[in-house]
Structure formats: structure tokens, C-alpha cells
Amino acid sequence: MLCRVEMPCNAQSHSRFYRWQLLHMGGAAGRVMLLGLPFLVVLFAALMLGARLPVWVPVLLALAAGAYYIWLLWGKPLVQFRKMPGAALLREVTVFTAHGLNRTVRSEDGGPPENDSATYSALAMAVETRQDFYLFTTSTRAYTVDKACFTNGTPAELRAALQAQLGERFHTKS
């Protein structure tokens, strides 16, 4: 056994992955979509100020755009997590070996555990952020490993193993 991670399935880790995926995986088209709304709001507000409308109208538009982004980046992932049946009662145990990972998800309400495993060669890529590792099996599905939840081994040991196994498919992002 190289490392062992035991973590609850919680809204914070779900939200961090959602935000990271939204901001980094969309590529240029995703960033244009995210930045397009504020650009249009600022442009429209400038046109409205040029039309001599009251100052509170563009300010209200800017506040609405800000509220939308707060909801998109922080509210929506919490709503998604709450809609997952029984997600708050799940506990994930992931064991990393020299050849891959074994993941067991246990429900605190006594249901049968769900087992899953993957070899390092089956991973599409792995990404390390300040708080997590994301181990992608497809372009949109990933195992989330919270660095604060290691019970055996360290994040540095896992990083070294992933770099050795995945090579160019391992990325570090801040």
C-alpha cells in the first residue's frame, strides 16, 4: 500500500471540483462563455449611461451579473450536491498501490459498500491543485482525493507515484 485516503463525501469537495472543472476544463470556449456575460453587461451599462439613464440602472445590472456568478460558482454546486440521494451519508476510502487505486464507498446508513478500482494506465489524466487531486477516468468524470484526508502516506508520495506512472498526463494547477 502506497497511500490511504479516507474522506467523507461532502459539499465542499464536490463544489471545489465543480468550480475547477468549470474554470479549467472548458478550454477557450468555456472561458469565453464565462466572461461573455460580464462583458455584455458592462457594454450595455456603458450604452445606457451614454443614453443618459439614471446611474442606478447600470449599477443594478452589474449587481445582477455579480449575483449570477456567485450562484454559478458557489450556489449551483451546493444545489447539485443536495439533489444527490444520500450523498451526505457516504464515506470514501481510497487505497493507492504501486499498480493503481482501489476505492470503496460506504454508506453510513448500513447499505452495501460499492467497490471500484482503476489502474494508472486507465486514467485519462491526473491534476493536482492546492487542496485536491483529481484523477480523471474520462474527460468529465474524476475521482476526487482531498489532501487533508490522508490516513496513511502523504500527498507528496502520491504526487511522486502519479508523476512516475502518468508522465505527461499528470498536471499541477494552482
Kindly state the average pLDDT of the residues 109-138.
89
Q: Could you tell me which residues come within 8 angstroms of residue 33 by beta carbon, excluding any fewer than 6 positions away?
A: 26
Mean pLDDT lowest among 14-18, 98-102, 116-120, 166-170: 14-18
- Measured in whole angstroms, the distance separating CA 67 from the mean position of its chain's CA atoms is 21
Q: Which residues of 111-149 are buried (b: 16+ CB within 10 A; e: fewer)?
A: eeeeeeeeebeebebbbbbeebbbbbeeeeebbbbbbeb
pLDDT at 136: 92
pLDDT at 8: 84
pTM of structure: 0.73
Is residue 30 very low, low, confident or very high in pLDDT (cuts 50, 70, 90)? low
pLDDT tens digits, residue range 86-121?
A: 666 778 899 999 999 999 988 777 677 889 999 999
Query: What dotted CATH number matches 3-10+89-172?
Result: 2.30.29.30
54-95: pLDDT as tens digits: 777 777 877 888 888 888 888 888 888 877 776 667 788 999
Report the mean per-residue pLDDT for the chain.
83
**For the chain, domain boundaries:** 3-10+89-172, 17-83
pLDDT of the residue at 126: 94
Find the DSSP H helices in 51-110: 56-70, 76-83
Instruction: Determine the residue type at 32.
Output: V
Confirm if 68 and 95 have CB atoms less than 8 A apart. Answer: no
